[in-house]
Structure 1
Amino acid sequence: MCHFEQVRKSRKDLTTVQNDIFYFYGKYSNMSLSNQKHLFDIPEEIIYLNIASQSPSFKSSETAGIKAVKEKTRPYLITTSRYFDPIIQLKKLFAKIVEVEDYNRIACIPSVSYGLSTVANNIQLQEGDEIVLVEEQFPSNYYVWEKLAQQYKAVIKIAKQPDATQGKGKQWNENILNAITDKTAVVAMGNIHWANGTLFDVKAVRKKTLEHNSLLIIDGSQSVGALPFSVKEIQPDALICAGYKWLFGPYGCAYAYFGSYFDNGNPIEENWTNRLDSENLSGLTNYQSKYKPLANRYSVGEHGSFIYVEMQIAALTELLRWKQMDIQNYCEIITSSSVSKLKEAGCFIEDSDFRAKHLFGVEMPISINLVSLKERLAKENIFVSFRGNYIRISCHVFNTEKDIEKLTNCIIAELA
């Protein structure tokens, strides 16, 4: 039996213990992808397994960016519509990726911290209210809540990561659900853990937050684009996503979905293009008190940047050619054999059913010399992230099974 068939068979043999998570993340798949490295300008000698830090650009995105740079040399050819029409196209593309019916619920923002600050700016708490966070969240999704808690004398409540190696993901999900009570005002979390790829059952979290009248704010930066996420199904109150990772946009671009809770909120800046009828440049001093509908009020100033927008449109157009669960399947196939070898060598990797396939952590035995390992990987042109005693592997359809095997061989050599 070939390796591909073995992976497919093992998937069919899964028990139902993790059905909620596996069903939600797995139900969108209907085919597998072949290697797509030809769409990127990555040299053959480079093994890039660090998209969770920064994605490479599609060739088509690079071309679109260069074309837009040249457009700026002739500003007299830039029409009024260029400030608005491409933004609508971009929002529609992102809305399709995350299954949002109305693109007006999408805001174009410069960063996750900007989006989360916008969210926090529109939340009022009572003294003693609790904000539930997952242990060791990314700093941008911690500091903003710490500040909000201090402002209202609320409490930060951390859903702890279990110490156990067996059933860790399952227990962590239970800890998150158990942390949600009648005191919970906000739950803010990623749908996977940014450093080790643990899958969180956001569908179950949403159900419990609704029972306790709590807001659910999702950071999709390390998943959306590579892992299925449906706003229509989960119905978070807000979804914030960095654009320069799994969405292949330039650094400095991000997206935000805002649900009905934020329909009449206050933006953190007053951008003229977000006001009603702003397309009429000749009437801009007829000051307009009304915003454009829904989330448009939250877009950052100059979000119509010609260069960034064209690069993002090209990137999302490419991304939409694939199904996100097919990306998961591809990454599982190229990493499965190496994951088994690393576990046999004494490394800890989360159970397959409770982790993403495009991003996961490999915990090194304490005995390994990380300095020596980093030097070895540098010599082999292998790029990964080190997070404490973890190596974070983040792969995509431009990687191959041989890429992962080469990384694995380096780790095992150091362990020996």
Structure 2
Amino acid sequence: MPLNCQRELFDLPAGLTYFNTASQSPCLRTSFAAGERGLRRKLMPWIAERAALPGEMERCRELFGGLLGAPADDVAIVFSTSYGIASAAANLALAPGQDILVLEAQFPSNVYAWERLAARAGGSVRFVPRGADFDWTGPVLEALDDRVGIVALPNCHWCDGALVELEPIAAECVRRGIPLVVDATQSLGVKPLNLETVPADFVVASGYKWLLCPDMMGFMYVAPKHQNGMPLELNHASRTGAPSMETGSGLGGCLKPNARRFDMGAADSMIHTPMCVTALEQITEWSPAAIHTYLTGLVDGIADRAQERGFTCPPKGRRIGHFIGLYRDQPWPKDLTARLAARGVHVVFRNGALRISPYLFNDEADVDRLFTALDAELR
């Protein structure tokens, strides 16, 4: 069922146009209320509602896994993209002389851990340059040769939304036996991603952008073949069969036989977890496909109006549907985003692109306000 604008579910003041979800999403009103309930549990940790926390954690795993087509057993709760990527890098091997394939100007959280792994293994990180007309998929496929030991990619470039088609890349990785690690932070929850067509080894996503979750919350899918690996942290909660702390030290047992062993320490946040549940439940109810369809309509309109003004952007078919970056021949004014914010329009620069990232609280009136403000400031 097609979606309409959902602005009433968020607390955005009248006259404000927020086009910066790719940096930080506002939370849902229901998530804010859930956070207040969580704060009360912290204020009064003796109340009975604290006992709901383990069930909330499992609900988060179910919901995140559902976005990928994975069971809850395959999902770990992590702090951030960088934490998840570091976990993946700690559990993948690189033969001497092999390369790790990443995009040129890829987001740093999906680069630094690979540089460290490559340095330790005597290999290197190979940065794939963008092809003509904003093509990433072709150059990545061309770069997949016998020297590649790991592929670590997003499914769109974080600066301008240029698309990376993971389906053919994943198929080639499977054919060559190369592990694939996906940073889905800029897409999961707003564009469908299915493990049947993208059989990744690890999928990591921070929650504070398109998943509408609070800061310091993220999730990681771990393929079953890696679930006997070593987590970054060792603690009581990551173990099974350990003695109770009520009657002893709690020492003993062994690591859990699934992705839960990779949970960050203190994954059982009384405040953040219920906020994640409400956010992921709402996204599941809307469905990523329906969200993407709605936002694609807005982004296509932004692209058309940008091109009328002589700006450049990834073309239709080479961009993801839910955000876009605009370029122009001469440099953008350095204070442009501040001047637009003074007009109530919030966007951001990323690597030379004016990045515009709408969500379901935006509509065509916001697109009008954006270009009215741009025209006034660039006149």
Q: Give TM-score, length-normalised by structure 1.
A: 0.87
Q: Distance in 1 between matches of 2:332 and 2:257?
A: 55
Task: Kindly provide the amino acid, as one letter, of the partner of residue 159 in structure 1.
Answer: V
**Residues 1:41 and 2:5 aligned together:** no
Letter in 1 for 2:286: W
Give the conservation status (yes or no) of the 8 Å contact 1:335–1:401: no
Q: Tell me the equivalent position of 1:216.
A: 180
Structure 1 residues 398 and 279: alpha-carbon distance in aligned structure 2, compared to 1, 3 A threshold? farther
Which of 218-227 and 281-290 deviates more?
A: 281-290
In the alignment, which of 54, 57, 60 is matched to residue 30 of structure 2?
60
Consecutive unaligned residues in structure 2, runs of 5 or more: none
Q: In structure 1, the residue corresponding to 2:317 is in which secondary structure?
A: helix
2:102 corresponds to: 133
Cα offset, 1:239, TM superposition: 0.1
Check if 1:168 corresponds to 2:134. Answer: yes
**Which residue does the alignment assign to 2:311?**
347
> Equivalent of 1:155, from 95, 120, 124?
124
C-alpha distance in structure 1 between counterparts of 2:203 and 2:39, whole Å: 31
Is the contact between residue 189 and residue 210 of structure 2 (CA under 8 Å) also seen in structure 1? yes
Structure 1 equivalent of residue 337 of structure 2: 374
Asked if the contact 1:362/1:391 (under 8 Å) is kept, the reply is yes
Contact 1:369 1:414 in 2 (8 A): no
SS state at 2:267 partner = coil
The alignment status of 1:383 with 2:346, answered yes or no, reads yes
Name the counterpart of 2:217: 253
Amino acid at match of 1:302: A
- 1:255-334 equivalences under 5 Å are 255-277=219-241, 280-282=244-246, 285=249, 287-334=251-298
Task: Answer yes or no: is the 8 Å Cα contact 1:115–1:256 preserved in 2.
Answer: yes
**How big is each residue's C-alpha offset from its partner over 1:309-333, in whole Å with a ceiling of 9 and x where there is no partner?**
0110111111111121211221122
Aligned with residue 56 of structure 2, among 82, 86, 98: 86
Matched to 1:360, the amino acid is I
Q: For residue 392 of structure 1, what is the aligned residue in structure 2? A: 355
- For 1:189, what is the secondary structure of its paired residue? strand
Kept after mapping to 2: 8 A contact 1:217/1:238? yes
What is the SS of the residue equivalent to 1:357?
A: coil
- Does 1:408 pair with 2:371? yes
Matched residue pairs, number? 379
SS at match of 2:197: helix
Equivalent pair of 1:107/1:298 in contact (CA under 8 Å):
yes
SS in 2 for 1:354: coil
Question: Counterpart amino acid of 1:76?
Answer: W
8 Å contact kept, 2:74–2:222: yes
Query: 1:51 aligns to what?
Result: 21
Going from structure 1 to structure 2, the CA distance change for 1:305 and 1:369 (only over 3 Å counts) comes to closer
Does 2:115 match 1:143?
no
SS at match of 2:356: strand
Residue 10 of structure 1 corresponds to which residue in structure 2?
none
Q: Distance in 1 between matches of 2:280 and 2:243?
A: 25
Q: Which moved more, 1:142-151 or 1:357-366?
A: 357-366
Aligned equivalents of 2:140, 2:375: Cα separation in 1: 34
Q: Please give the TM-score of this superposition, normalised by the length of structure 2.
A: 0.95
What's the counterpart of residue 39 of structure 2? 69
Q: CA deviation at 1:367?
A: 5.6
Q: Tell whether the 8 Å contact from 1:128 to 1:153 is kept in structure 2 after alignment.
A: yes
Q: Equivalent residue for 2:154?
A: 190
Q: Distance in 2 between matches of 1:235 and 1:358?
A: 23
Identity of aligned residues (%): 29
Q: Which amino acid aligns with 1:93?
A: L
Q: Does 1:180 align with 2:144?
A: yes
Whether the 8 Å contact between 2:161 and 2:325 is mirrored in structure 1 is yes
Q: How far 1:378 sits from its partner (Å)?
A: 2.1
Contact 1:99-1:230 within 8 A present in 2 as well: yes
Give the drift of 1:334.
2.6
1:81 deviation in Å? Answer: 4.2
In the alignment, does 2:202 pair up with 1:233?
no
Indicate whether 1:204 and 2:168 are aligned.
Answer: yes
Deviates more, 1:279-288 or 1:64-73: 279-288
Structure 1, 103-112 or 350-359: larger mean CA deviation: 350-359
Are 2:78 and 1:109 equivalent residues in the alignment?
Answer: yes
Query: C-alpha offsets along residues 127-177 of structure 1, whole Å, 9 cap, x if unaligned?
Result: 101100011100111111111111111021111013x4xx322xx211000
Query: Partners of 2:185 and 2:331 in 1: how far apart?
Result: 33
Residues 360 and 337 from structure 1, CA distance in 2 versus in 1: closer, same or farther, beyond 3 angstroms?
closer
In 2, Cα distance between the equivalents of 1:49 and 1:294?
38
> Cα deviations across residues 202-242 of structure 1 (Å, max 9, x unaligned)?
11111111122111000000000111111233110000000
Matching residue's letter, 2:85: L
Contact 1:364-1:391 within 8 A present in 2 as well: no
Is the 2:243–2:249 Cα contact (8 Å) retained in structure 1? no
Structure 1 unmatched ranges of 5 or more: 1-30
CA 1:330/1:286 → structure 2, altered by over 3 Å: closer, same or farther? closer
**What value does the CA root-mean-square deviation take over the aligned residues?**
1.8
Q: Secondary structure at the match of 1:76?
A: coil
